[in-house]
Structure 1
Amino acid sequence: AHIWVCTPGRLIDILTRKSVDLKRVMYLVLDEADRMLDGQNFQAIRYITSTLFGMRARGERQTIIFAATLPDEIKDMAGELLLDEVFIKTERPIMDNIQQHVLYVEKEQKKTRLLQELSAISEHNQGEQVLIFANSNSLVDQLVLYLSQRLPPYAAVGGVHGARPSQEREETIRGFKAGTLAYL
């Protein structure tokens, strides 16, 4: 394989079964490094990058780390994986036309309260769009079904997650970009 994407634990499992070796790995990429380099994950990554599995030394491979935030403690850990590191930081201005509201509700009231808020938005601001984030594929599917059955027809709802076919995800995103979906 040319590209492997997996969790550190899964890769260790594969490596210990001798299903693959890392001798030819030229690039090591860590996404969400601010979360990946916590205690247990960092130990796993340190284990993977040791010469035990043939991984090239840090001067012989390129290591790329992506993170939304990089606290000093994580930066220090990353230093063990990097050589002559370069940090690129983007400064985005805060958009003054974005409204944010925080509501604290009991878990069993979340769907009902979300429906109330979205109904108010769709009633007063037709054409507005809302992004809704959920922490699992099944919750995305549940919310799409729940909201689709209860919101007016002009307030179309779509859902995107990794278990849905690529073509379906792309079509849903195109619909949101085009404005035919009010909620994603």
Structure 2
Amino acid sequence: MDFDMLGLKPRLIEALAEMGIKDPTPIQKQAIPPALDGRDVMGLAQTGTGKTAAFGLPLVQHILAEDARPKPRQARALILAPTRELVNQIGDSLTSFIQGSHLKVARVVGGIGINPQIRKMERGVDLLVATPGRLIDLMDRGAVDLSGTSFLVLDEADQMLDMGFIHALRKIAAKLTGPRQTLLFSATMPKDMEALAATYLDRPVRVQVATSGQTADKIDQSIHFIAKAEKPGLLLDLLRAHEGEAALIFARTKHGSDRLAKQLTNAGVKAVAIHGNRSQGQRMRALEAFTDGSAKVMVATDVAARGLDIPVVKHVYNYELPNVPETYVHRIGRTARAGREGAAISLCAPDEMSELKDIEKVIKGQIPIASGRRWMPSEEEAKPKQQRGGGGRRGGGGGRPGGRAGGGRPQGAKPQGAKPQGAKPGGGNRRRRPRKPA
């Protein structure tokens, strides 16, 4: 099926051809026709499958057909996305679609000066792409009027829920007082997403090309079971094994991302870091260095896990497993984009086994083991005090079998049943275990 069979006008098909896009993806085949018919659409698809064109092309065609001009401070169409990077990517795609037309695209994101964005909105725009937080700022200042907005797109809607934007979404949607067409796209469909769809969509057409938790077929997944203290050395070895190929590494915290990027650079692997504490300029410079190849490694928090389309990414590393299991799918979806092949490598320490088990429930299978062996319950590192039995006191009941009674234990794996280092005889009513033969 070609794009012309989907109902797109020749000028849009020509714009796609100039971008090197000839054949529609499955999500585009299913979503574009009902969107062109004016129906609300709820789309579920893996990352990297062309969701931006699936909503962007019908949007542009509708607005071109109306042949009207936006009023001051108004936007004819509003596209909401959770991160600055995704807003910029959507904006770039829409700008390519409207080449040669009179349409105007504006981007509204935090992290940069608000006054230029206010001035941009003074004359009105046709397509406004925004993060919810900064859009609320502009609305509160009277710089944006959504009463004339007749198209609303929620992209990566599940991440917006995860990031706590539900109240912002309600406030924004309440300002769209006229009739509108709503398109919602997401990589996963948790239960609260169904409630969101029921609130904002009117009898939507549901299109789905992936089940929740499904990963791209061409991603080669693997996992290494390794002590936390040994992760940096293994990571360096793995990176050097494919030196020259772009790798995206995910860490849990902003500070951890900076620290890891510095460690890698000091070891001779040029790395940049990207996370929420970086300014917009710093984030853009890091992305540019990564995409142009001057830095082959980018260390990121989950701010980069969704929506980013960086074709050069060949390897994704989960240096630390995510706390939210669905995030694993989004992270590894940064590779094998648009039918390419890629690899997703995870490093699992003993105290990350619960995260791994949750991830494997979501993806409905075990990740193939590259090295080590799955940690046994007795080898998992001690949990925080408030999660332990016996109040965390030495000599009390509730110590983990094979671990130090109530206290911490050194980093790294211990064979099942091995004697903990530094363990003292139990007190109180605790019974000593007999020592095993050497």
**TM-score range normalised by the length of the shorter chain:** 0.5 to 0.7
Distance 2:165 2:293 in 1: 38
Q: Look up the SS of the partner of 1:80 in the other structure.
A: helix
Which of 204, 220, 223 pairs up with 1:100? Answer: 223
Which of 21, 35, 49 pairs up with 2:173? Answer: 49
Percentage identity across aligned positions? 27
Deviation at 1:69, TM superposition (A): 1.0
Which of 67, 87, 98 pairs up with 2:186? Answer: 67
Equivalent residue runs for 1:14-25 within 5 Å:
14-25=138-149
Does structure 2 retain, via aligned residues, the 8 Å contact 1:160–1:172? no
Q: Look up the SS of the partner of 1:24 in the other structure.
A: coil
Are 1:5 and 2:130 an aligned pair? yes
Deviation at 1:96, TM superposition (A): 6.7
Question: What one-letter code is carried by the residue in structure 2 that aligns with 1:101?
Answer: H
Equivalent residue runs for 1:23-172 within 5 Å:
23-37=147-161, 41-50=165-174, 53=175, 55-57=176-178, 60-91=179-210, 93-95=216-218, 97-101=220-224, 105=228, 109=229, 113-122=230-239, 125-127=241-243, 130-134=247-251, 139-150=256-267, 153=268, 156-159=269-272, 161=274, 162-164=280-282, 166=284, 169-172=287-290
Distance 1:36 1:122 in 2: 32
Distance 1:99 1:131 in 2: 15
The answer for the alignment partner of 2:22 in structure 1 is none
- Whose helix proportion is higher, 1 or 2? 1
Work out which of the two has the higher radius of gyration on C-alpha atoms and give 1 or 2. 2
Q: Look up the SS of the partner of 2:130 in the other structure.
A: coil
Deviation at 1:81, TM superposition (A): 0.7
- Which segments of 5 or more consecutive residues in structure 2 lack a partner in the other structure? 1-120, 275-279, 299-438
Distance 2:177 2:202 in 1: 13
- Whose strand proportion is higher, 1 or 2? 2
Distance 2:135 2:239 in 1: 46
The answer for the alignment partner of 2:292 in structure 1 is 174
Does structure 1 retain, via aligned residues, the 8 Å contact 2:272–2:286? no
Distance 1:122 1:6 in 2: 34
Closer, same or farther in 2 for the Cα pair 1:86/1:174, shift >3 Å?
farther
Distance 1:43 1:121 in 2: 43
Does structure 1 retain, via aligned residues, the 8 Å contact 2:236–2:264? no
Deviation at 1:148, TM superposition (A): 0.8
